[in-house]
Structure 1
Amino acid sequence: MSKLHADFYADAMTQVEAVITEQQLIAEETYRVRVSAASIASTAVPGQFVMIRLASRNSPLIGRALAIYDVIDDSDGKPRWIDLVYIRKGTLTQALAASPLGTQVTLWGPLGNGFSDRPCDRLIMVAGGIGQTPMLLLGREALGNQTFGDGSRQNGWASQVELIYGARRESLLAGVDDFRNAGFGLTLCTDDGSVGEQRLAPDVLAERLSKLTSGETVRVATCGPEIMMQKVAEICATAGVDCQVSMETPMACGIGICFSCVAPIKMDAAEQDGSEGWDYKRTCVEGPIFDADKICWH
């Protein structure tokens, strides 16, 4: 596992004044917005995020962190647009949902690190709530369907990709057709049984891992409610499976200045120096992706 350090300060980010070119309701209170931001689209990797704010508004003054859901090429095959998925809930997202096409937004990004491109036979992604948002790019890269970033990452590093996606009810599942069309295996779970299996997503994962064939290498990536990710991490630890989590810690600045998004992370032996064995790390610059065995869940 990689040593934790702030390799992902915002030095390489760009600030973009962009316009909304598409806006679509894709699930209950859940929207997908498309903005023209070529400098971000061309450098982003799966798991990174942007900060967004409405250029014409001072309330809220700070931006909102949103994972990059999709990268769309222009007719010349060059990345030009990014899609962001959000739930209409707070001041900014309510205003964003009400914004007509052509509304100007300010973006800065791409920010944070990204999921590893460590090769495996099988990638299993486990998402809950709005945690499916970083998974589309990751799965496409793993299957070799799309290349992201500056060309330093490999693609086609997994033979199979599956998304296990859970929500309270069917109406809250967002982007299901996008994952199907990307060629992922897809298992839906709902608390009320309105679609798919009436089970918790981590329980489905545990069943998958119990049926692995000898010698099959598996990686797990997860994002969603913390209690769900903790359960996924525990299942993977028991099975000896490589697992990464995307932390959804609330952020204010997104660039490592305000220390509002810290998470308790275990330190390597060389880093401890008589300490308690863990320290707070900023999710925005040392995450949001962490190896699951580094998280102090208690």
Structure 2
Amino acid sequence: MSDPNTADCDSNLHASYYADGMQQVETELVENEQIAQSTYRLRVAAPTIAARAVPGQFVMIRLAGVNAPLIGRALAIYDIVNNDQGDPTWVDLVYLQKGAFTTPCSQSPVGTPVSLWGPLGNGFDPRPCDRLIMAVGGIGQTPMLLLGREANGAQAFGRPNGWAKDVELIYGARNEGLLAGVDDFRQAGFDVQLCTDDGSAGQQALVPAILEQRLQEIGDTASVRVVTCGPEIMMEKVAECCQKHHVDCQVSMETPMACGIGICFSCVAKVKQADGNWDYKRTCVEGPIFDAGKIDWS
């Protein structure tokens, strides 16, 4: 039987983004540290997942042996860390402490057993461009570190890399304390622009306004590409801005997921079809990455 992860498996029965190739791992927390206000980064040893993942994919994770919550929580893959031999070994996830999984997880010490399965979802397309702009808000920075590193050629994931000349991050939050991982993005060589609702860091502005300003400054946007993740209203405004300037834009939808593998249909998004109508698509399998112009935001 052919590998369901290969492109020639894109059929009605086995599309490359289906969960056929996921791995389930029983492991434990190697690190679990606070990196911003109510925001934590955990690390687990999961080499079979780390070796398969591409930027934009996610995993489902739950505390092993805990029945509340019973189902896993979908978290974007934030980073993949190699061992001394250069082999992908550890998976980093960043999460906001606010619910039935993330609150006990934030209180769990190193060595706590966890279950995770993935990688899941379709991931971002490695579309060549001169300038990649990552426009994110809230906790939406989490899928962008790997994408930016792939774009500038610093990291490879078994597909083309080094496909952008410049990488920018526009990152917004309510206040300075909620900005998480900023140093990681700067150390990766990205141009980082911050904005906050209260002006405590960067400009006192919203992400779509900063993006509009940048696109006007650039002028010729023919080889600019935008990717976005964060609150839905922010992504909608980013999509409108990109449409106005004729800029290629992909969105990473943060629709809440239950199963993560396309069984329950709880995470559907309205996506426009070629005939102009829309249909429901599962964020966990047909997404979470969609072309911004195909999302019906109503």
TM range (shorter): over 0.9
> Whole-Å Cα distance in 1 between the matches of residues 242 and 248 of structure 2?
7
Residue identity in the other structure for 1:294: K
Which position in structure 2 is the counterpart of 1:58?
Answer: 67
TM-score computed with the length of structure 1 as normaliser: 0.94
> Whole-Å Cα distance in 2 between the matches of residues 208 and 60 of structure 1?
42
User: Is the counterpart of residue 231 in structure 1 residue 215 in structure 2?
Assistant: no
Partner SS state of residue 168, structure 2: strand
> Whole-Å Cα distance in 1 between the matches of residues 138 and 72 of structure 2?
21
Which position in structure 1 is the counterpart of 2:258?
Answer: 252
> Whole-Å Cα distance in 1 between the matches of residues 68 and 115 of structure 2?
14
- Are the equivalent residues in 2 in contact too, given 1:7–1:286 (CA < 8 A)? no
Residue identity in the other structure for 2:83: D
Per-residue CA shift, 1:218-258, capped at 9, x if unaligned? 00000000000000000000100000000000000000000
The alpha-carbon distance between structure 1 residues 28 and 45, as it changes in their structure 2 partners (threshold 3 A), is same
Partner SS state of residue 235, structure 1: helix
Partner SS state of residue 269, structure 2: strand
Which position in structure 1 is the counterpart of 2:249?
Answer: 243
Which position in structure 1 is the counterpart of 2:121?
Answer: 112
Which position in structure 1 is the counterpart of 2:4?
Answer: none
Alignment of 1:264-275 (within 5 A): 264-269=270-275
- Are the equivalent residues in 2 in contact too, given 1:4–1:286 (CA < 8 A)? no
Deviation at 1:4, TM superposition (A): 11
Deviation at 1:215, TM superposition (A): 7.0
* Partner residue of 2:164 out of 142, 158, 162: 158
> Whole-Å Cα distance in 1 between the matches of residues 195 and 166 of structure 2?
20
> Whole-Å Cα distance in 1 between the matches of residues 150 and 208 of structure 2?
23
Partner SS state of residue 171, structure 1: helix
Which position in structure 1 is the counterpart of 2:49?
Answer: 40
Per-residue CA shift, 1:158-194, capped at 9, x if unaligned? 0000000000000000001000100000000000000
Deviation at 1:214, TM superposition (A): 3.8
Which position in structure 2 is the counterpart of 1:198?
Answer: 204
- Are the equivalent residues in 2 in contact too, given 1:180–1:186 (CA < 8 A)? yes
Partner SS state of residue 286, structure 1: coil
- Are the equivalent residues in 1 in contact too, given 2:50–2:91 (CA < 8 A)? yes
- Are the equivalent residues in 2 in contact too, given 1:164–1:186 (CA < 8 A)? yes
Residue identity in the other structure for 2:22: M
- Are the equivalent residues in 1 in contact too, given 2:222–2:246 (CA < 8 A)? no
Which position in structure 2 is the counterpart of 1:139?
Answer: 148
Alignment of 1:6-85 (within 5 A): 7-85=16-94
Residue identity in the other structure for 1:200: L
Residue identity in the other structure for 1:10: A
User: Is the counterpart of residue 92 in structure 1 residue 110 in structure 2?
Assistant: no
Which position in structure 2 is the counterpart of 1:282?
Answer: 282
> Whole-Å Cα distance in 2 between the matches of residues 156 and 89 of structure 1?
36
Which position in structure 1 is the counterpart of 2:138?
Answer: 129
Residue identity in the other structure for 1:248: E
Task: Please list every run of 5 or more consecutive structure 1 residues that lacks an aligned counterpart in the other structure.
Answer: none
> Whole-Å Cα distance in 1 between the matches of residues 257 and 176 of structure 2?
29
Q: Percent identity?
A: 67
Residue identity in the other structure for 2:103: Q
Deviation at 1:211, TM superposition (A): 2.1
- Are the equivalent residues in 2 in contact too, given 1:164–1:201 (CA < 8 A)? yes
The alpha-carbon distance between structure 1 residues 4 and 88, as it changes in their structure 2 partners (threshold 3 A), is farther
Per-residue CA shift, 1:144-167, capped at 9, x if unaligned? 00011xx2x100000000000000
Task: Please list every run of 5 or more consecutive structure 2 residues that lacks an aligned counterpart in the other structure.
Answer: 1-9
RCO higher in structure (CA 8 A, sep ≥6): 1
Superposition CA RMSD, Å: 1.4
- Are the equivalent residues in 2 in contact too, given 1:7–1:285 (CA < 8 A)? no
Deviation at 1:213, TM superposition (A): 4.7
- Are the equivalent residues in 2 in contact too, given 1:13–1:111 (CA < 8 A)? yes
Residue identity in the other structure for 2:242: C
TM-score computed with the length of structure 2 as normaliser: 0.94
Number of residue pairs aligned between Structure 1 and Structure 2: 287
Partner SS state of residue 232, structure 1: helix
Which position in structure 2 is the counterpart of 1:184?
Answer: 190
